[in-house]
Structure 1
Amino acid sequence: MSPAPADTAQFRALHAQGQLLILANAWDALSARLVESVGGAAIATSSAAVAWAQGVPDGERLSFDRLLTATQDIVRAVRVPVSVDFERGYGASAAEVAANICRLAEVGVVGVNLEDGSEPPEVLAEKLAASREALRREGRDMFLNARTDVVLRHIHEGKQALDEIVRRGKRYVDAGCDGVFVPGLSKAEELAHVVEQLPVPLNVWAAPTLPSPEQLRALGVRRVSVGPRLALTAFSAARRDAEHVLAGRWGPTFEGKPLTYPELNAWFASGGA
């Protein structure tokens, strides 16, 4: 038996005032189940890690159909809500992006990140509006998280960057987004300013310079994600062990308590897939 799918209301509740949703981004059924097993309240995917797991570079090089299949595997494997890093929407037009988002909703996805990247903000606003309308027509709901890359791409610096983040964020809210994601924003005073200016939850990227969870809650930040960090950590450890074994050294390289065959097998034998 597959687990009962989570719903969008459950995911929205994780963004409530005073809460901080920390997302350890996954890339397949196994990594998603692992995150859930250590207390992840929801699963978010990393577009980069999903692409790499399929043997494809990041940057919408993966076909939407392959992304959809990988996403279905993740949704089936867990009981918590699943949100997808959807880059620019895997479509050439706002209508195509909206149709793709509806297909994700059909397989149980409750949220997506849509980014502006290097495109003008008007493009993302159009995608958000089209997606919200398409979801309404189908009687569906989804948490639309609008990612702006103002900081990440150094579009502006200092106060100009903050002003542009707020300007874009308000535009995206008007177009129907439920949250705003600003990777690269980490200073407490800047986070507080954006939280004060935007009426939707703020999502940031984990970084060594980011304030503590307690400070983030006090500032009003509602969500933190880590991008491809888990995948990079996992495959760094796997590479080290592969080098060790291929050199004829049989002892384990992992420090700490390793996962076991019975443990991982039980995750799915109990109904995860």
Structure 2
Amino acid sequence: MTDKTNTPSGETTDFGFETVDKNQKESLVRGVFDSVASRYDLMNDLMSAGIHRLWKRFTIELSAVRPGQTVLDIAGGTGDLAAKFSRLVGDDGKVILADINDSMLKVGRDRLLDSGAVGNLHMVQCDAQMLPFPDASVDCITIAFGLRNVTDKDRALRSMERILKPGGRLLVLEFSKPTNPMLEKIYDTYSFRILPMMGQLIANDSESYRYLAESIRKHPDQDTLLDMMEDAGLVNCEYHNMTGGIVAVHRGIKA
């Protein structure tokens, strides 16, 4: 049987600064995260000096998740957001940790089991572009540092909008465009010189972290992503810059 995900389609997309066949990007991204999964959390702490925890805490506050609700954390990999949502929704709620990458899910499963995760947590390996959940079945969706790796972001946003309940919230936490030119210059130097070196030293993989830096630059800026969320059917869309726009969290509501 032919693997359609690796069959050339004639359509191209970006993989960092490279242009690749659209059907091949998923396997290329999978290779990156297979390589970095075991050191992913450690590298996040080192790369952001721990600030990523504050970015995620603010995202959780914006989510307004309440007991009894259903939360889907897409590209949730190692499970740090899912663990916090699990406590917020309580025994009557449900948290679904979803990721397309099996290696990341395995790390998340082991981490959650070690932390004594409760029974309201479920894990699903799935593609954000084709979410396997019923229409209007989820109260809140989060995707933290994952949307930039999705091949067809518009399709993924429409898929998320479809499964949200009316009044449900989508929160996208992602690296974005710094608002200060000087900060942007410093950030570029860090991303393309220091980050690959750290990747080599800590994870023995400079190329994966070079891709991660490139994927950040190719991701839509704050206003473009806001327009994409509105085009997907979400309303009352807004974003909040953090750390000078290095990171932004976008929020949209299902009408």
**TM-score higher than 0.5 here?**
no
More strand by share: 2
Question: TM-score by structure 1 length?
Answer: 0.30
When normalised by structure 2's length, the TM-score is 0.31
